[in-house]
Amino acid sequence: MPEMMGNNSTLKFFILSGLQDSGVYKPLYFLLAFVLYVLIIIVNLTLIVIVTVDKTLHKPMYIFICNLCANGLYRTVGFYPTFLLDLQSDVHTISYNWCIIQTYVIYSSVMCEITVLTMMSYDRFVAICRPLQYHSILTPHAVLKLLGLAWAYRLLGAIILLFAMTALFDMVYSWGGSENIPIGVRNALSLQFLILPPLLNPIIYGLQLPQIRKVLCRQRSRHVLS
């Protein structure tokens, strides 16, 4: 981590070595990353708008899915803009402060996603095992408390996950096998949790549900008729 010293200030930054070997493939990487970013925004915003606009979807499960999509957008906003700028630049550096912010956004979103997925599992458990008590257990007040807990949990959960991920990477690197893996493969493996969940979550948990597909088809029919 080099330091640039002025009269009374010190600027710390990191050099991102993982992008140094992109070479002639840099425009292709930029195009792929940009297309993925646009797709992530479209699928997540589509699901959020559908759940927000249609009152028949104002139920715990769909509200949880909506928050899952919002968390996916939160994660990608903290990563993709900077990543796209790095792919367009010949100098790959990041300031110490922005690195800390980006790390917090990414890991806190992961913890929030785990929490929301747990809530969705609990919702299905109550719906299947206690159907007669579903509305008395998952009241609007209870749902708001759960969602508040999920977004507040990101404050402490990110620290816990950061520690766990750091320990895991230390174990992997201590085995000495990472040097034999090409840099492109290592980059792909490290970026998969920033690409796949925000893109696939709204499709798997949202757009595949019959109720949401019906609403989407109904909205399309209205648009065609108008």
pLDDT over 70 at 187, yes or no: no
Q: Would you state the pLDDT for residue 73? A: 92
CB 85 within 8 A of CB 33: no
Model pTM? Answer: 0.77
Sheet of strand 3-5, all strands in order from the earlier edge strand to the far edge:
3-5, 10-15, 93-95
Residue 149 within any structural domain of the chain:
yes
List 144's β-bridge partners, or say none. Answer: none
Parent domain of 196:
22-214
Intra-chain end-to-end CA distance of the chain, in Å: 59
Q: Give the rounded distance of the alpha carbon of 142 from its chain centre.
A: 25
Q: Would you state the pLDDT for residue 45? A: 93
Q: Would you state the pLDDT for residue 103? A: 82
Q: Count structural domains, the chain.
A: 1
Residue 224 within any structural domain of the chain:
no
- Percent of the chain past pLDDT 70, that is, above it, reads 70
Q: Give the rounded distance of the alpha carbon of 111 from its chain centre.
A: 10
Residue 11 within any structural domain of the chain:
no
Q: Which residues have a Cβ under 8 Å from the Cβ of 109 and sit 6 or more positions away?
A: 71, 72, 74, 75, 78, 154
pLDDT over 80 at 145, yes or no: yes
Q: Which residues have a Cβ under 8 Å from the Cβ of 45 and sit 6 or more positions away?
A: 69, 73
- Percent of the chain past pLDDT 90, that is, above it, reads 12
Q: Which residues have a Cβ under 8 Å from the Cβ of 205 and sit 6 or more positions away?
A: 65, 68, 120
pLDDT over 90 at 157, yes or no: no
Give the CATH number for residue 60: 1.20.1070.10
Q: Would you state the pLDDT for residue 5? A: 47
CB 154 within 8 A of CB 108: yes
Nearest-CA neighbor of 117 among 153, 57, 68? 68
Q: What are phi and psi of 205, to 5 degrees?
A: -90, -15
Residue 226 within any structural domain of the chain:
no
Rg of the chain, C-alpha, whole Å:
21
